[in-house]
Amino acid sequence: MKNTAERIRLLPKYLFAEIDKKVKKAQQKGIDVIKLGIGDPDSPTPDYIIRRMQEEVANPANHTYPPDEGVQSFKEAVADYYRRRHGVELDPESEVMPLIGSKEGIAHISFCFTDPGDVNLVPDPGYPVYGIGTLFAGGEAYEMPLLEENGFLPDLKSIPAETARRAKLLFLNYPNNPTGAVATPDFFEAVAAFARQNDLLVCHDAAYSEIAFDDYRPPSFLETAGGKDVCIEFGSLSKTFNMTGWRIGYAVGKAAAVEALYRFKTNIDSGLFKAVQHAGLEAFTNPQMEPFLKELREKYQRRRDIVVQALQEAGWPLQAPRATFYVWAPVPRGFFTSEEFVSHLLEETGLVVTPGRGFGRHGEGYFRIALTVDEERLKEAMERLQGAVEYR
Ligand SMILES: *Cc1c(COP(=O)(O)O)cnc(C)c1O
């Protein structure tokens, strides 16, 4: 066999591989490890969705290839949800496309728009897929630093005019992973104006749109005036309904972008299992949706409060995030890198958190705690942390 393609060789080392090795070592030494690293919900998918799936799996009509453009009733359910939740009208035919998880669409959108030599604007720190998709398509990622002093929003004015003019895509993600930051409607308006000015497509990753606290409800980018003319928004059922393993999400917004994604996907995959699309429809249309989400938000909010309070007591200058199930905190002084701090924490306390560097250069100096373990374990984790480190 000859060597692998450059796109495989150029891939950065998998962020969690090194940590996984250290975790295994710690566990072999008999340390009780508490994993606050990966953001994968710890609770099951709600029963009402599982029951629908069980029925749909048994229906032979669902055993054939799904329609390329997606199951119409699922697309209608997504459009309905956008009308209810965001006051945004979507045409299910041309402005909604089911995805095999939103990551799939986020990775593929670069193949639809980015030619070799083109630039995509990518937030740093950020979900690695924006940059990797860009790289795979042969494009170049221009990093937009997300700095604390700017509320972890990119500073559009700092992007060189020439770069902005060349850019094809601008990736955004609010509520934000890893920083927990949220965006205001004003910021979205400024982004829309910037996109019109530079004729680029905004790719908004809205994976955490329903994970928000204290009565805060994150806006869709499509609520912005003219938003649908400049934006494709990626939604996911993964975090909203504890469905990470089911692989279902969707893209909505600018019809020409949805159409490009559709054309790309028809040539690569054959869509999502029809039963999963029917289960997804149930997720959004069943009257149990809202009570379920209320409980989900309350659960993460209680966990958030445990972690934020403990960190504040230990000296961290920290505000409670208004959304996502992450707490993004600065590394105390005395550690050279976020990775060094994370290793120290694991060795001293058995806690696994994610080094900020894993999300990009500007993640250095921070670490991320995922609120995906129950309250009792989280309290235990915070006691251990308080016993071992303080913020200086
Ligand atoms: C979890 C997550 C997703 C969701 O991915 P799926 O493929 O829909 O499971 C997308 N973006 C971000 C930032 C995430 O953290």
Q: Which atom of ligand 1 is nearest to the CA of 102?
A: 8
Q: Which atom of ligand 1 is nearest to the CA of 247?
A: 9
CA gyration radius for the chain? 21
Are 279 and 49 a contacting pair, CB within 8 Å?
Answer: yes
Residue span(s) of the chain under CATH 3.90.1150.10 come to 6-44+290-388
Query: Which one of 38, 239, 354 would you pick to mutate in the ligand 1 pocket, going by the greatest count of ligand atoms within 8 A of its CB?
Result: 239
Residue span(s) of the chain under CATH 3.40.640.10 come to 63-285
Are 65 and 273 a contacting pair, CB within 8 Å?
Answer: no
C-alpha–C-alpha distance, residues 172 and 207, integer Å: 11
C-alpha–C-alpha distance, residues 381 and 378, integer Å: 5
Q: Which atom of ligand 1 is nearest to the CA of 177?
A: 13
In angstroms, the Cα distances linking 141 to 126, 128, 160, 350, 360 are 12, 11, 14, 36, 12
In this structure, the residue with its CA closest to atom 14 of ligand 1 is: 207
Helix axes of 255-266 and 102-113: crossing angle, nearest 10 degrees? 100
In angstroms, the Cα distances linking 273 to 61, 242, 310, 382 are 11, 18, 44, 41
Q: Indicate the pairing of strand 354-355 with strand 366-370.
A: antiparallel
CATH 3.40.50.2300 fits 63-285, yes or no: no
C-beta atoms surrounding 244 within 10 Å = 17
C-alpha–C-alpha distance, residues 77 and 92, integer Å: 9
In angstroms, the Cα distances linking 290 to 62, 173, 285, 287, 311 are 28, 23, 10, 7, 31
CA of 238 to the centre of ligand 1 (A): 7
As given in the structure block, the two tokens for residue 313 are 């007591």
Are 320 and 216 a contacting pair, CB within 8 Å?
Answer: no
H/E stretch holding 387: helix 375-388
Q: Which atom of ligand 1 is nearest to the CA of 100?
A: 7
Question: If we measure between CA atoms, which residue out of 231, 158, 240, 145 comes closest to residue 188?
Answer: 231
CA of 2 to the centre of ligand 1 (A): 34
Are 177 and 39 a contacting pair, CB within 8 Å?
Answer: yes
For residue 15, the model assigns a pLDDT of: 65
Residues 6+ away with beta carbon under 8 Å from 72: 92
In this structure, the residue with its CA closest to atom 2 of ligand 1 is: 207
Tens of pLDDT, residue by residue, the chain (392 residues): 999 999 898 888 776 777 888 899 989 989 999 999 989 999 999 999 999 999 999 999 999 999 999 999 999 999 999 999 999 999 999 999 999 999 999 999 999 999 999 999 999 999 999 999 999 999 999 999 999 999 999 999 999 999 999 999 999 999 999 999 999 999 999 999 999 999 999 999 999 999 999 999 999 999 999 999 999 999 999 999 999 999 999 999 999 999 999 999 999 999 999 999 999 999 999 999 999 999 999 999 999 999 999 999 999 999 999 999 999 999 999 888 999 999 999 999 999 999 999 999 999 999 999 999 999 999 999 999 999 998 98
CA of 200 to the centre of ligand 1 (A): 23
CA of 334 to the centre of ligand 1 (A): 33
Beta-bridge mates of residue 3: none
CATH 3.90.1150.10 fits 6-44+290-388, yes or no: yes
Write out residues with Cβ below 6 Å of ligand 1: 39, 101-103, 127, 173, 177, 205, 207, 236, 238-239, 244, 249
In this structure, the residue with its CA closest to atom 11 of ligand 1 is: 207
Query: Which one of 238, 269, 300 would you pick to mutate in the ligand 1 pocket, going by the greatest count of ligand atoms within 8 A of its CB?
Result: 238
Whether this prediction's pTM lies above 0.85 is answered by yes
Q: Which atom of ligand 1 is nearest to the CA of 126?
A: 13
As given in the structure block, the two tokens for residue 55 are 């029925």
**What does the DSSP 8-state code read for residue 176?**
P
C-alpha–C-alpha distance, residues 288 and 286, integer Å: 5
Q: Which atom of ligand 1 is nearest to the CA of 239?
A: 1
As given in the structure block, the two tokens for residue 204 are 């908004």
For residue 291, the model assigns a pLDDT of: 98
